[in-house]
């Protein structure tokens, strides 16, 4: 059953090409004023899902609902122009022969005065009022993106579909444009489905993240929950570098160089992997834990030799070759910390920031 409280619903969507499911049993719901990010690596089915929602591609099975109404199903397929959706892609696709005012007002109907007022309203919101007579080639990349956003919002769509719309902008500009875009979309109370392969972008913009892999949603939820409670090792690793410590279960415990880890409910000899992000490993200056702020939760220190240290601007990345098995672990330290290669240091792990998965 559909729920008109949701502006967009994809119900058990699959898309098969040449016998292969590119999208496989995917379901998602969007509410007004909510940004949902489809996040995943290239080729996982994100853009295909977006095209199905837009109506430029048709699912093999499943239904697409907008505002509680079927727009695509076994016997119905409404074309994109009738779906009350806005579209934004990597290519801003502005008409080069039209000025800003005519680009933004292109899809508007009704009296000229009303269209002109709507264009002016949106250009004010994207801080481009006064640019009405300029042409796309006279604008910067960020200005073109804001014109494209204003054009997509001009007809007051219920749903905005965005396929990596910020990827063409340089890093310094991207954050400002993303923030301004998000503010405007929220002000217009638009339901947004944003496709991206960048975890940072999803964390920055999304109310909900749907993490995709091989055509399926493997985990969905608020950014905080997705980051801090990943469903598996691959989900954890998609958001940042991870360190992996391997072990085997004996009497509901896993022995590691950092001490024993509780592994209740797992039978003996089960192979497990303990995952910890580089920022959650701690450095000690000797095996008694006389580093900064030692705690019982840090467990047993294990010794490693500095292999490489690099300064990243606001933090330092230090790589260690561990004595116990020759594996390499990475540690992120705030500020400048550049020990010389072959310096011995002791590492300890924050137990509360570890994830444990069966291998």
Confidence tier at 297 by pLDDT (50, 70, 90): low
CA distance 109 to 137: 26
Q: With bands split at pLDDT 50, 70 and 90, how would you rate the model's confidence at 303?
A: very high
**Residue 23 has which token pair?**
């999208």
Q: What is the pLDDT of residues 110-140, one digit of tens each?
A: 899 999 999 999 999 899 999 999 999 999 9
CB 162 within 8 A of CB 205: no
Of 262-266, 302-306, 310-314, least confident by mean pLDDT is 262-266
Q: Are 61 and 12 in contact (CB under 8 A)?
A: yes
187 CB burial (10 A radius; 0-12, 13-18, 19+): exposed
pLDDT, tens digit (0-9, with 9 covering 90-100), for 305-322: 999 999 999 999 999 999
CA distance 310 to 341: 11
Task: Note the pLDDT of residue 289.
Answer: 47
* 139-196 residue pLDDT tens: 998 899 889 989 999 998 989 999 988 887 887 788 888 888 888 889 889 999 999 9
**Degrees, nearest 5: CA angle 164-182-238:** 45
For the residues 202-222, what does the mean pLDDT come to? Answer: 96
| pLDDT band (50, 70, 90) for residue 4 | low
Three-state SS at 149: helix
Contacts with 280 (C-beta within 8 Å, 6 or more apart), sequence order = 349, 350, 353, 354
Q: Give bridge partners of residue 253 from the DSSP assignment.
A: 250, 262
* Residue 339: pLDDT over 90: yes
Going by C-beta distance under 8 Å and a sequence separation of 6 or more, which residues neighbour residue 31?
A: 5, 6, 7, 191
Number of Cα atoms under 13 Å in the Cβ half of residue 329: 31
The pLDDT assigned to 145 comes to: 87
Rounded Cα distance, 96 and 251, in Å:
70
């Amino acid at each position: 059953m559909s729920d008109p409280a949701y502006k967009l619903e994809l119900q058990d969507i699959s898309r098969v090409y040449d016998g292969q499911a590119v999208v496989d049993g995917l379901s998602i719901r969007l509410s007004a004023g909510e940004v949902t990010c489809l996040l995943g690596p290239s080729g996982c089915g994100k853009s295909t899902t977006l095209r199905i929602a837009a109506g430029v591609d048709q699912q093999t099975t499943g239904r697409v609902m907008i505002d509680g109404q079927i727009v695509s199903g076994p016997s119905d397929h409404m074309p994109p122009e009738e779906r009350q959706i806005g579209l934004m892609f990597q290519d801003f696709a502005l008409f080069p022969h039209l000025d800003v005012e005519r680009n933004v007002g292109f899809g508007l109907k009704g009296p000229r005065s009303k269209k002109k007022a709507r264009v002016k309203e949106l250009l004010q919101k994207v801080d481009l009022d006064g640019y009405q007579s300029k042409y796309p080639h006279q604008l910067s990349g960020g200005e073109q993106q804001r014109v494209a956003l204003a054009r997509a919002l001009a007809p007051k769509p219920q749903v905005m579909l965005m396929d990596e719309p910020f990827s063409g902008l340089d890093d310094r500009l991207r954050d400002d444009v993303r923030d301004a875009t998000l503010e405007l979309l929220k002000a217009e109370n638009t339901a947004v489905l944003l496709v991206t392969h960048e975890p940072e972008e999803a964390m920055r913009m999304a109310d909900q993240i749907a993490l995709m892999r091989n055509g399926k949603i493997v985990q969905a939820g608020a950014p905080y929950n997705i980051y801090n409670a990943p469903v598996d090792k691959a989900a954890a690793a998609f958001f940042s570098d991870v360190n992996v410590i391997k072990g085997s279960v004996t009497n509901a415990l896993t022995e590691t160089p950092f001490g024993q880890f509780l592994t209740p409910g797992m039978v003996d000899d089960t192979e497990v992997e303990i995952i910890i992000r580089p920022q959650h490993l701690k450095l000690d200056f000797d095996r008694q834990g006389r580093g900064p702020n030692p705690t019982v939760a840090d467990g047993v220190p294990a010794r490693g030799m500095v292999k490489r240290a690099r300064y990243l601007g606001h933090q330092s990345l230090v790589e260690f070759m561990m004595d116990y098995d020759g594996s390499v672990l990475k540690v992120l330290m705030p500020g400048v910390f550049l020990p010389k290669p072959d310096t011995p240091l002791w590492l300890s792990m924050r137990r509360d920031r570890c994830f444990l998965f069966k291998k």
